Amino acid sequence: MRDHGGNMDRAVAHYGGAAGDWIDLSTGINRKPYPIPHLPLDVWTMLPTQAAMQALRTAVAAHYATKAPVAITAGAQAAIQMMPWLAGKRGLARVIAPTYNEHAAVLRAAGWQVQEVAGLPDLAGCDLAVVVNPNNPDGKTHAPADLLAVCSRVGRLVVDESFGDISPDLSLLPQAGRAGLLVLRSFGKFWGHAGARLGFVFGSAEDVAALTALAGPWPVSGAALTMGEIALKDQPWAAATRARLQAEVPRIDTLAEQAGWQLAGGTALFRLYHTPDAAQAQDRLAKARIWSRIFPWHAHWLRLGLPGSETEWGRLAAALV
């Protein structure tokens, strides 16, 4: 099922209030985002330029310390939408699940045979393998060496590192650029600007050229290009944010434990809890105008992002008393 967090329209329609009354913890988007810089008027009034695209690529390469070719996309989702067409033919795809449901859904919609499997050994022999690392929603991780070992056993390996900014040691970006490996990154989650619709795909020169052609001449806005360049150059903010998020994890886990929930997994951007009844838990939070994520395929799992301010932390604590 292609259900997602961030569906605030549904929350407001069912429980009332205005969108501004709500704290949306249903996604893993950083709620203390990078401060929006002043952007020149021409990024809104002119078509994005190749110079702006190249400036962002340079900032991406420096930030992630990689020389791999990179395709700029309208978020990681746009890259996922293009993956079925990169091979030029349909085949067998295997996706480690449960995970972000768009991977399997997009491949199936494009006519691929899709099998959802439990672990890395089950991927062998397929034309396209997909691993989300760290995984969403349970935060499961795979060591880079284990992922690299998969490359020789599949036609193409796609590693979705949309939540990878909080765990740089898990990243395959140092190995990106080799044939048969594609690494996806999302700008919106860690930097907290999902609305910018900005993402990156690192891969071989051939694959990146094909993805760039599929994305078209203006895959993202001029504003997103400029904002992404500025943010990615701000390494001190990234380091401080990574440390802040890691330090706040015990705080939200303690609140959940006091509510009678058990930790089921997560990352420093979201936590997954096992509750007696996830629907009831979501309802309880929603009545306090806090939106959470539950899963139609699991009656007990509830996912929460981390609050972004002391006011939000206080409202969450009060709702869980």
Percent of the chain with pLDDT over 90: 98
Split at pLDDT 50, 70, 90, the class of 101 is very high
C-alpha radius of gyration, the chain, whole number? 20
Residue 205's alpha-carbon distances to 61, 71, 95, 162, 164, in angstroms, are 14, 10, 24, 21, 22
- Residue type for 19, please? A
Split at pLDDT 50, 70, 90, the class of 190 is very high
Q: How far apart are CA 172 and CA 46, in angstroms?
A: 35
> What are the structural domains of the chain?
8-33+236-319 (3.90.1150.10), 42-233 (3.40.640.10)
Residue 42, SS3 per DSSP: helix
What angle do helix axes 75-86 and 205-215 make, rounded to 10 degrees? 110
| pLDDT of residue 1 exceeding 70 | no
| pLDDT of residue 160 exceeding 70 | yes
Q: In this structure, which long-range contacts are made by residues 6-13, counting pairs with CB atoms below 8 Å and at least 24 apart in sequence?
A: 6/194, 8/291, 11/286, 11/291
| Each residue's pLDDT tens digit, 241-264 | 999 999 999 999 999 999 999 999
∠ Cα 195 199 205 (to 5°): 160
| Each residue's pLDDT tens digit, 223-241 | 999 999 999 999 999 999 9
The predicted pLDDT at position 84 comes to: 97
* Cβ contacts of 26 within 8 Å, gap of 6 or more: 5, 6, 7, 8, 11, 291, 292, 293, 303, 305
| pLDDT of residue 67 exceeding 70 | yes
Q: How far apart are CA 82 and CA 276, in angstroms?
A: 39
Percent of the chain with pLDDT over 70: 100
The predicted pLDDT at position 176 comes to: 96
User: Alpha helices of the chain — where are they, by DSSP H?
Assistant: 8-15, 42-45, 50-64, 75-86, 102-109, 144-151, 205-215, 222-232, 235-258, 278-286, 310-319
Across the chain, what does the average pLDDT equal? Answer: 97
Are 273 and 301 a contacting pair, CB within 8 Å? yes
Whether pTM > 0.95 for this model: the answer is: yes
The predicted pLDDT at position 2 comes to: 82
